[in-house]
A and B are shown apart, each in its own frame.
Chain A
Amino acid sequence: MNYNNLTQRYFDGAQAFAGVLTGPGAFRGSAGSRAQGTWIQFDLRVDPGQARTIQAARFLAYACPHTIAAAAWMAEAAVGTSASAAPPESAQGLRERFAIPVEKLGRLLVVEDAWNAAVKACMGSTAG
């Protein structure tokens, strides 16, 4: 399998964005399953203010290099954005950005689902 430079860079550097966030202001969402071959978890630390700015993001992944790279990029790109805004990138956008084969689009949807689950946890907390 060939990976473009961006994929290689974020796959190689994935550990910098890997991990979990705990404590006040941290919200978690996950999607997929290891048994199915792709599992992603995002943790977001969001400021308690109205803007819901993402202060930090971490991910965990059992996934192929493309998917790990995409998740790492999401975790990096999200910092400073609002959790209530659209995800940093859609599944299709990630596919184009990382030149990921169309056969893997389903795995990128897992990334998107995990992100949305984390945001939902965050926004649910706001509502509550």
Chain B
Amino acid sequence: MNAPVYLDYAATTPVDPRVAAVMAQCLTLQGAFGNAGSGHAFGDTAGAVVESARQQVAAAVGALPAEVIFTSGATEANNLSIFGVANYYRSQGQHIVTVRTEHKAVLDPCRELERRGWRVTYLAPRPDGMVDPAQVAAALRADTVLVCVMHVNNEIGVIQDVAAIAAVCARHGAARLHVDAAQSAGKCALDFAAFGCDLMSLSAHKVYGPKGVGALLVSQRRGVRLEALHHGGGQERGLRSGTLPTHQVAGMGAAFRLAQESAGTEGARAALLRQRLWQGLSALGGVLRNGAEANSVPQILNASFADVEGESLLALVWPHIAVSAGAACTSAVREPSYVLRALGRDDRLAESSLRFSLGRFTEERDIDVAVAAVAQAVMRLRKVGGA
């Protein structure tokens, strides 16, 4: 049997060979292997690589190089942002606004702050996944110090209007806006300055870079301050101590440069592939699209299949295609996606949903394999179920 077709690029991407080549140059004695904090020539060489990568990331997302704080990934960036703001501004208030469909890397830190006595307002998105900026405005209180809204939702691909939400926060005055943009780079327009947000999390491995590196953008223009979570060395403006992994950082820089260069062509190609996928799937009937098509990145399609049990659907499609399920498995018990439930999908439809995420290496024939595999599985399960 052939290897399954990979359609889970929103989970992670393979490292682009061009990125891998850049990373390899930072590993050995002949390359930039030094500690970027060392004062000698090897350190200078590594430091130059790091600063070049910082410029590449900044240029790709409309930020200043000095606003880029390298982290171990978007999860750490989210934690640094949320706890960093909370710790620094706690004397001004202890209220946070976020959205039910945020990634766990935002929701779990918020829940931890609740355990510490903070108040958190969880906004319910509309059935299409969008958050109305007016909802944010209505949730703001005098003691709100932080608003967390993700840019591109990892499950349904919906793009939030973070610029409008930033304007709401700016009118409030004391509410800083943190945007989790882990899924955004290379998929849609991403402009930190133009959006007007205070903080933004980025990930390298979602954009053909390596795992284990990401960044938090901290706006200098807006003067946002954070309390560091790690101490010991004072790297990254004192916000993220620890020796910088030069090869990871260089890989992230290269990945973001490539993403910036190819975003237009890749987006157009992905849109055609997704259209082909949706046409094939929707022909089955009883297929419901999750999330607003008009406000979504072209690489992600999430659909629920009526009259099909979720685990059985996965058992039949996973030998052929690697896609994400609408339910998380913990031992034998499946928990329906909280994102889809927040959109109003019932448990059964949430469980029978699949997220197809397309990428740089997806081809038309991969889409055709996916459509055939899902069609066969759905028809078979509907027959067994008498639907």
On A, residues with C-beta under 8 Å from B are 1, 3, 11, 14-15, 18, 20, 34-35, 37, 39, 41, 60-65, 68, 100-104
Number of A-B contacts (CB under 8 A): 53
Bound form: Cα–Cα A11–B312 in Å: 9
Bound form: Cα–Cα A41–B386 in Å: 9
Please pick, from A1, A68, A100, A101, the residue contacting B384 in the complex, using a CB distance under 8 A. Answer: A68
Q: Is B311 a contact of A1 with CB atoms below 8 Å?
A: yes
Q: Is B347 a contact of A37 with CB atoms below 8 Å?
A: yes
B90 within 8 A of A: no
Contacts of B385 in A (CB 8 A): 39, 60-62
Q: With A11-B315, A60-B385, A62-B385 known to touch, is A104 a contact of B309 (CB < 8 Å)?
A: no
**Closest residue to B312 on the A side, CB-wise?**
A65
B331 within 8 A of A: yes
B380 within 8 A of A: yes
Q: Within the complex, what minimum Cβ distance (angstroms) separates B39 from chain A?
A: 54
Q: Within the complex, what minimum Cβ distance (angstroms) separates A91 from chain B?
A: 15
Q: With A11-B315, A62-B309, A63-B312 known to touch, is A103 a contact of B331 (CB < 8 Å)?
A: yes
Q: Is B348 a contact of A34 with CB atoms below 8 Å?
A: yes
Please pick, from A20, A61, A65, the residue contacting B311 in the complex, using a CB distance under 8 A. Answer: A65
Contacts of A14 in B (CB 8 A): 384
Q: How many of B's residues come within 8 Å of A, CB to CB? A: 20
* 8 tightest A-B CB contacts, nearest first: A101-B332, A60-B386, A103-B332, A64-B311, A62-B385, A18-B384, A65-B315, A65-B312
B329 within 8 A of A: yes
Q: Is A64 a contact of B384 with CB atoms below 8 Å?
A: no
Give me 17 other A-B pairs in contact (C-beta within 8 A), A34-B307, A37-B351 excluded: A15-B383, A15-B384, A20-B386, A34-B348, A35-B348, A37-B309, A37-B348, A62-B309, A62-B385, A62-B387, A63-B309, A63-B312, A65-B315, A68-B384, A101-B332, A103-B331, A103-B332
Q: Within the complex, what minimum Cβ distance (angstroms) separates A67 from chain B?
A: 9
Please pick, from A11, A20, A34, A103, the residue contacting B333 in the complex, using a CB distance under 8 A. Answer: A103
Contacts of B307 in A (CB 8 A): 34, 62
Q: Is B380 a contact of A15 with CB atoms below 8 Å?
A: yes
Q: Is A68 a contact of B312 with CB atoms below 8 Å?
A: yes
Interface membership of chain B positions 338-360, coded 1 if the CB is closer than 8 angstroms to chain A and 0 otherwise = 00000000111001000000000
Contacts of B314 in A (CB 8 A): 1
